[in-house]
A = this chain, B = another copy of it.
Amino acid sequence: MKSSLKRYLIGKPLKSDALGEQKLSKTKALAILSSDALSSVAYGPEQILLVLITVSTVALWYSLPIAVGVIVLLVALILSYRQVIFAYPHGGGAYVVSRENLGVNAGLVAGGSLLVDYILTVAVSVSAGTDAITSAFPSLHSYNVMIAIFFVICLTLLNLRGVTESASILAYPVYLFVVVMLVLIGVGVYNIITGQVPETLHSPVGTPVAGISLFILLKAFASGSSALTGVEAISNAIPNFKDPAPKNAAKTLLAMGVILAALFVGIIILAYFYGIVPNNHATVVSQIAEASVGRNVFYYIVQGTTAMILVLAANTGYSAFPLLAVNLSKDGFIPRIFQIRGDRLGYSNGIVMLGVAAIVLIILFEGATEHLIPLYAVGVFIPFTLAQVGMVRKWLREKSSGWIGKLIINAIGAVISFVVAMMFLVTKLPQVWPVFIFLPMIIVVFHRIKQHYQDVGEQLRLEERELPNIEGNIFIIPVAGMTKVVENSLHYVKSLNVEKIVAFYVAFDQADAKAFEEKWHKWQPNIRLVTYYSPYRSVTQPLMKFIDKVEHQYGKSGYQITVVIPQFLPKRGWHHALHNQSSILIRAALLFHKNVIIMTVPYHLKK
């Protein structure tokens, strides 16, 4: 039943050699890998205006030059990551670039930041999308957390079904959003050009503003740059592309850059000309839609597709996180399970882990995950900076053909990313301080995990040596009574012809001990019985003591101890609750604390 539910939700398992069919075409890849970046059009421009409005409405014209700055950064990032894609065609993005060029710790800072960042992406964007929906239907507001969790579960299942299947489904809403936004911008720009928008709505570019400072402008720029957080994802997900993967990935990246730039600039321009002032009641995009097309059907389509793209932005995390985790796992910094492909050939452990972590965050922050946004932005711009510094070092070292041009691109990207990261650290310190605790911690954990894997590897590696001879075997059978279960175990053990067989009984009172021994000798005269009296009613402790004694007596002469646990298995699951689980406790105690072989002889009940 469990497995048929799994089949229904996730689909039939796929054979390993079907991996090729699970690769993405450029259009599908663009849909699932750019949803995060594109969705930020819904809040990035607003972030800029929110900072400027703290000075005055006159200052809003600064959004235009700031938008230019954001576009410059976007171009630098796109070109820069294009170079990353070709230089590291197997994916890994900032993690691999930093590790290769700046050393392991720089790589771990980048990788650790991004891992956490993808979790934050999922939590933040699903919460934002849920908010957008419950704003439209206020009666749902008290179910915010439940709805958000439901979306996360849906996305997790969709991704467990496989990357192509989720891409096929998610492509529609993503492209719909792009088309709707382009139409909105088209209509708005048409209105502006045809003079239907009064000149009085906005202060002209260049109007002097009292109280404006470089700090405010940089802060606004940094806030606007949070729209660029999804750019990195494609470089992580190269292995998901159809061949030639790097080339396709680079083209997809370029397409994403162009669309993102168009939408971003479009929204900023409309907001400026319509004189939009951000407020608590309606988002900037919603105000633009209302101003340019009015409150008609199209307005609601804009709102609906925006809510949808916010939820789907989370999917970028689902595409990039598992692949980044595979890279970190292959290097031994995180558990190996992240390398295992699930039934549908996706890295299902990474997908499930991402979903669970996002749900935990949503519950902890009760859906109010917007507090995580600054943390999230820092977590993106640190690896951005590291990746590009890494590329700069690569060009300096390799000096391959055309390296000066490439170096300039990456250097510009590095400087701007660094400035943005610093701006976030300086202006949002009260929200981003956990980075300084969390990053060192995660790096220590990464190293400890790696150390453990190395230790294990060394300890397991075969070496030329003579193993000490096993001179004989002692089988100890703890018995709780005289039943068919015990009879069955004895029958089996006798067939092995081992040197010594001892039955072991724990009595809770002296009279019982005596009675049991007498009955035993009649039943199994050839099998020695040792009885211990347990004043504290424990079965495990006397057994451990007895094993110690046997070990002490026979261990030196090369005897190996095996403990045989007779175990009956009831027919139905609920029956287990009706029987003392002492065999499980005994087994666990032996496994962890004693160097004995443990044998379970099952006796399956028929009713």
- Find A496's partner among B485, B487, B496 (CB 8 Å cutoff): B496
Q: Is the CB–CB distance between B473 and A496 below 8 Å? A: yes
Binds B, one of A95-103, A226-234, A567-575: A567-575
B492 touches A578 (CB 8 A): no
The reply to whether A601 and B597 contact each other, CB–CB distance below 8 Å, is yes
Beta-carbon contact of B560 and A509 below 8 Å: no
Tell me, rounded to whole Å, the shortest Cβ–Cβ distance linking A464 to chain B: 11
* Partner among B449, B473, B495, B595 whose Cβ is within 8 Å of the Cβ of A602: B595
Find the B residue at minimum CB distance from A578. B335
Interface centre among A460, A492, A497 (most CB of B within 10 A): A460
Instruction: Let me know if B597 and A598 touch, CB within 8 A.
Output: no
Point out which of A336, A463, A537 has the most chain B C-beta atoms below 10 A from its C-beta. Answer: A537
Scan A444-482; emit 1 where CB is below 8 A from any B CB, else 0.
000001001101100111110001001001000000001
Among A340, A449, A462, A568, find the residue whose CB has the most chain B CB atoms closer than 10 A: A462
CA distance A453 to B567 in the complex (A): 16
Return the chain B residue nearest A600 by Cβ.
B598
* A602 close to B597 (CB less than 8 A): yes
B456 and A484: CB pair below 8 A?
A: no
Closest residue of B by beta carbon distance from A568: B460
User: Does A606 contact B473, Cβ atoms closer than 8 Å?
Assistant: no
Residue of B461, B508, B599 near A598 (CB, 8 A) is: B599
Given A570-B456, A598-B599, A600-B597, answer yes or no on A487-B467 (Cβ-Cβ < 8 Å): yes
Residues on B with beta carbons closer than 8 Å to the beta carbon of A400: none
With A335-B578, A578-B336: A467-B491 Cβ-Cβ less than 8 Å? yes
B-side contacts of A562, CB under 8 Å: 599
Q: Which residues on the B side are within 8 Å of A482 (C-beta)?
A: 462
A509 (CB) vs chain B CBs: closest residue = B16
Give the residues from 6 to 34 in chain A that come closer than 8 angstroms, CB to CB, to chain B: 13-17
Q: Are A536 and B15 in touch, CB under 8 angstroms? A: yes
- A607 and B458 alpha carbons, distance in the complex (Å): 10
Q: Is the CB of A604 within 8 A of B595?
A: yes
Chain B contacts for A497, CB-based, 8 A:
497
- Within 8 Å of chain B (Cβ to Cβ): is A343? yes
- A483-512 contacts to B, CB under 8 A, are 483-485, 487-488, 491-492, 495-498, 508-509
Q: Any chain B CB within 8 A of the CB of A137? A: no
Any B CB within 8 A of the CB of A552:
no
Once A336-B580, A337-B580, A577-B335 are accepted as A-B contacts, the answer to whether A456 and B597 lie under 8 Å apart by CB is no
| Copies of this chain present | 2
Q: Which residue of B lies closest to A475 (CB)?
A: B496
B599 touches A597 (CB 8 A): yes
Contact of A449 among B14, B483, B578, B592 (CB under 8 A): B578
Residues on B with beta carbons closer than 8 Å to the beta carbon of A459: 484, 568, 605-607
A42 to B407, CA, bound (A): 85
The reply to whether B452 and A570 form a contact with Cβ atoms under 8 Å apart is yes
Say if the beta carbon of A397 comes within 8 Å of chain B: no
Q: Which of A456, A473, A508 has the most CB of B within 10 A?
A: A456
Q: Is A535 an interface residue (CB 8 A)?
A: yes
Partner of A453 from the list B463, B578, B592 (CB cut-off 8 Å) is B578
- A597 to B598 alpha-carbon distance, docked (Å): 11
In contact, A336 and B579 (Cβ under 8 angstroms): yes
Check if A341 is an interface residue, CB within 8 A of chain B: yes
Q: How far is the CA of A497 from the CA of B580 in the complex (A)?
A: 35
A357 to B430, CA, bound (A): 44
The CA of A607 and the CA of B459, in the complex, are separated in Å by: 8
How many angstroms between the C-alpha atoms of A580 and B456 in the bound complex?
13
Is A591 close to B, CB under 8 A? yes
Complex partner residue of A16 from B462, B508, B595, B601, CB under 8 angstroms: B508
A116-151: which residues lie under 8 A (CB-CB) from chain B? none
CA distance A379 to B315 in the complex (A): 54
A297 to B535, CA, bound (A): 51
- Kindly supply a per-residue 1/0 record for chain A positions 321-349, scoring 1 wherever the CB is within 8 Å of any chain B CB and 0 otherwise: 00000000000000111001101000000
Q: How far is the CB of A539 from chain B (nearest CB, A)?
A: 11
The residues of B that contact A598 with a CB separation of less than 8 Å are 599-600, 602
- Give Cα distance in the complex from A416 to B452, angstroms: 73
CA of A467 to CA of B599, assembled, Å: 20
Residues of B within 8 A of A484 (CB): 459-463
| In the complex, chain B residues whose CB is within 8 Å of the CB of A604 | 595
B residues within 8 A CB of A601?
597
In the complex, what's the smallest C-beta–C-beta distance from A505 to chain B, in angstroms?
A: 16
- Check if B535 sits within 8 Å of A15, measured CB to CB: yes
Contact in complex: B341, A537 (CB < 8 Å) = yes
CA A599 – CA B523 in complex, angstroms?
A: 27
Interface residues of A in 501-541 (CB under 8 A from B): 508-509, 523, 535-537
Which chain B residue has the least Cβ–Cβ distance from A495? B470
A462→B479 CA distance, assembly (Å)? 14
- What's the Cα separation between A69 and B108 when bound, in Å? 80
Q: Can you report 26 residue pairs joining A to B where beta carbons are below 8 Å apart?
A: A16-B509, A16-B535, A16-B536, A17-B535, A335-B579, A337-B580, A340-B537, A449-B578, A452-B570, A455-B605, A456-B570, A456-B605, A459-B605, A460-B483, A460-B568, A462-B487, A495-B560, A496-B498, A497-B497, A591-B600, A595-B602, A595-B604, A596-B602, A597-B600, A598-B600, A599-B600
Q: What 7 additional pairs, Cβ within 8 angstroms, besides A456-B568, A456-B579? A: A335-B577, A449-B578, A455-B605, A460-B483, A461-B483, A591-B602, A598-B602
Which 7 pairs between the two chains have the least Cβ-Cβ distance?
Answer: A470-B495, A460-B483, A15-B535, A599-B599, A13-B536, A598-B600, A335-B578
